[in-house]
């Protein structure tokens, strides 16, 4: 169920709503007219607007952080909800679909001014651009300052950008499982994913709407990404070299007839799941926004950049993460003006532990939000 918002009233909880924020001048020189942002809210904004928390989603995440009026489970149930660390009985919680996405915000599949999908014409949108767009929505909702902004992975990068771009509007900032900038290796992984989509014969330069969808390319991109989201130990312990019964990797006399290992079947499943719910152009747009992540761009050193923020920081990492190494979180914490501990999620799963094991940080986050 979705409803369109035209004024600042928020009676529904966990229901997708839409707001027009006007035209958006972009950091790379492009322009998006009449940008729409999709978002969800939980709880009630108090009279002085001082109890608002923004939760930023990760790469292919949606705005549905936790249950609401629909009772559909969210992706951070352990963190947000009634009585949770982000207590929706106490806080007014907001989650916004990033510009470039495909869950209701303006993105490549949205109509351009000529009525046709943006497709290949969709401009480069950086995380800094998305922050500017979200600030306009916050204005419409009557939120002049966030009690806290938090997120994991790309969501953590978005939270960090908020704390530096609008220092007077962020009181607390939680950055989980991400560093201050995308590294060369992270950009390399990302480029392999976007290239997998672009080389799909059905991609058509990004103008595939109305024709065959580049399913194979998007599924391959997800396979590449998912390998980085899980640890070597988790894949080995879960699958090892076991065949996918009744197939055998050694069956057949030619390569085309061989069967799969279980880990191959698992990656196929992950790729096919994403194809059912995500737009290939949006995957490229958001991935390249994450490639742009560098909170220091045009601002000086990391210490100089972070000194501009007025927020109290919470920093956390996943101990087995091989995409965003804990060392990046430590580098971020060391550059902060105040002494900030790096809290570790202990999870053999790898990077995805920021989702599946976020409950481990519950007591620490609760203290951070109560201080």
Q: Mean per-residue pLDDT for 109-121?
A: 98
Q: Which helix (H) or strand (E) holds 41?
A: strand 31-42
- Supply the pLDDT for residue 251: 85
- Using an 8 Å Cβ cutoff, are 368 and 147 in contact? no
Q: Is residue 243 domain-shared with residue 313, that is, in the same domain?
A: no
Residue 7 predicted with pLDDT over 50 = no
Q: Is 153 a catalytic residue?
A: yes
Mean pLDDT of 177-188: 98
Q: Indicate if the pLDDT at residue 105 is higher than 70.
A: yes
Look at residue 70 in the predicted model and tell me its pLDDT: 83
**End-of-domain residue from the set 287, 318, 343:** 287
Angle at 185 (CA atoms; ends 179, 190), nearest 5 degrees: 90
From 87, 129, 279, 321, the catalytic residue = 321
Check pLDDT > 60 for residue 352: yes
Please state the domain count of the chain.
Answer: 2
Is residue 193 domain-shared with residue 327, that is, in the same domain? no
**Of all residues in the chain, what percent carry a pLDDT higher than 70?**
97
Q: Which residues contact 25 (CB under 8 A, 6 or more apart)?
A: 31
Percent of the chain with pLDDT over 90: 93
Instruction: List all residues 6 or more positions away from 107 whose beta carbon is below 8 Å from its beta carbon.
Output: 99, 100, 101, 118, 122, 279, 281, 282, 285
CA 350/CA 228 separation, integer angstroms: 8
Report the pLDDT value the prediction gives residue 31, as an integer from 0 to 100: 98
Asked about 268 being catalytic, the answer comes back as no
CB 260 within 8 A of CB 247: yes
Q: How confident is the model at residue 256 (pLDDT cuts 50, 70, 90)?
A: confident
- Mean pLDDT on 261-270: 98
pLDDT per position as a tens digit, 14-37: 999 999 999 999 999 999 999 999
What does the alpha-carbon distance between residue 186 and residue 290 come to, in Å, rounded to a whole number?
9
Confidence check: pLDDT of 295 > 90:
yes
Q: Which of 265, 287, 309 is the last residue of a domain?
A: 287
Does 344 lie in the same domain as 202? no
**Confidence class for position 253, pLDDT limits 50, 70, 90:** confident
Residues 6+ apart with CB under 8 A from 126: 26, 27, 28, 289, 292
pLDDT band at 356 (very low <50, low <70, confident <90, very high): very high
Of the candidates 345, 316, 346, 318, which has an alpha carbon nearest to the alpha carbon of residue 333?
316
Same domain flag for 97 and 244:
no
Q: Are residues 26 and 129 in the same domain?
A: yes
Residue 10 has pLDDT above 90, yes or no: no
Predicted pLDDT at 252: 80
Query: Is residue 351 classed as helix, strand or coil in its secondary structure?
Result: coil
Can you tell me whether residue 27 is helix, strand or coil?
Answer: coil
Q: Are residues 280 and 321 in the same domain?
A: no
Mean pLDDT, to the nearest integer, of 144-159?
Answer: 98
Residues 211, 149 share a domain: no
Q: Is the pLDDT of residue 345 over 80?
A: yes
Position 238 scores a pLDDT of 97
305 and 274 inside one domain: no
Sign, CA dihedral 302-307-310-316, equals: positive
CATH no. for residue 175? 3.40.50.1820
Active site residue 226: no
Parent domain of 282: 187-287
Does residue 314 carry a pLDDT above 80?
yes
Question: pLDDT of 33-74, one tens digit each?
Answer: 999 999 999 999 999 999 999 999 999 999 999 998 888 999
Distance CA 257, CA 247 (A): 10
Q: Which whole number is the average pLDDT over 288-297? A: 98
Return the half-sphere exposure (C-beta side, CA atoms, 13 A cut-off) of residue 24.
30
Which pTM value belongs to this model?
A: 0.95
Q: What is the mean pLDDT of the chain?
A: 95
Question: Which of the following is catalytic: 95, 105, 110, 153?
Answer: 153
Q: Which of 100, 101, 120 is nearest to 208 (CA)?
A: 120
Quick one: 177 and 225 in the same domain?
no
Which of 229, 261, 287 terminates a domain? The answer is 287
If asked whether residues 8 and 130 sit together in one domain, one would say yes
Residue 12 pLDDT: 78
64, 343, 351, 368: the active-site residue: 351
CATH code where residue 259 lies: 1.10.1740.110
| Co-location of 171 and 313 in the same domain | yes
Do 18 and 155 fall into the same domain?
yes
């Amino acid at each position: 169920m979705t409803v369109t918002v035209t004024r600042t009233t928020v009676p529904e909880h966990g229901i997708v709503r839409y707001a027009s924020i006007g035209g958006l001048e972009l950091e790379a020189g492009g322009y998006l007219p009449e940008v729409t942002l999709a978002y969800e809210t939980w709880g009630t904004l108090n009279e002085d607007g001082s109890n608002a928390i923004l939760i930023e989603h990760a790469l292919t995440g949606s705005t549905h952080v936790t249950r609401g009026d629909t009772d559909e489970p969210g992706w951070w149930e352990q963190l947000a909800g009634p009585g949770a660390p982000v207590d929706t009985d106490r806080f007014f919680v907001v989650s916004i679909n990033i510009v470039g996405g495909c869950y209701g915000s303006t993105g490549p599949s949205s109509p351009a001014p000529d009525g046709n999908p943006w497709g290949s014409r969709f401009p480069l949108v950086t995380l800094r651009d998305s922050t500017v767009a979200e600030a306009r929505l916050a204005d419409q909702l009557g939120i002049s300052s966030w009690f806290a902004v938090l997120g994991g992975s790309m969501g953590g990068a978005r939270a960090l950008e908020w704390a530096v771009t609008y220092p007077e509007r962020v009181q607390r900032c939680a950055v989980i499982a991400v560093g201050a900038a995308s590294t060369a290796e992270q950009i390399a992984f990302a480029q392999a994913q976007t290239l997998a989509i672009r080389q799909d014969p059905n991609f058509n330069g990004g103008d595939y709407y109305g024709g065959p969808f580049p399913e194979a390319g998007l599924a391959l991109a997800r396979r590449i990404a998912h390998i980085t989201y899980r640890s070597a130990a988790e894949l080995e312990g879960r699958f090892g070299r076991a065949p996918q019964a009744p197939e055998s990797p050694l069956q057949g006399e030619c390569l085309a007839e061989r069967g799969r290992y279980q880990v191959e079947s698992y990656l196929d499943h992950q790729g096919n799941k994403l194809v059912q719910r995500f737009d290939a152009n949006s995957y490229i747009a958001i991935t390249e926004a994450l490639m742009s992540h560098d909170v220091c761009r045009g601002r000086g050193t990391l210490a100089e950049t972070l000194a501009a923020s007025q927020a109290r920081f919470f920093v956390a990492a996943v101990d087995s993460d091989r995409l965003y190494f804990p060392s990046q979180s430590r580098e971020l914490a060391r550059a902060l003006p105040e002494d900030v501990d790096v809290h570790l999620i202990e999870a053999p799963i790898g990077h995805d532990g920021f989702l599946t094991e976020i409950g481990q940080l519950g007591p620490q986050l609760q203290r951070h939000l109560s201080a």
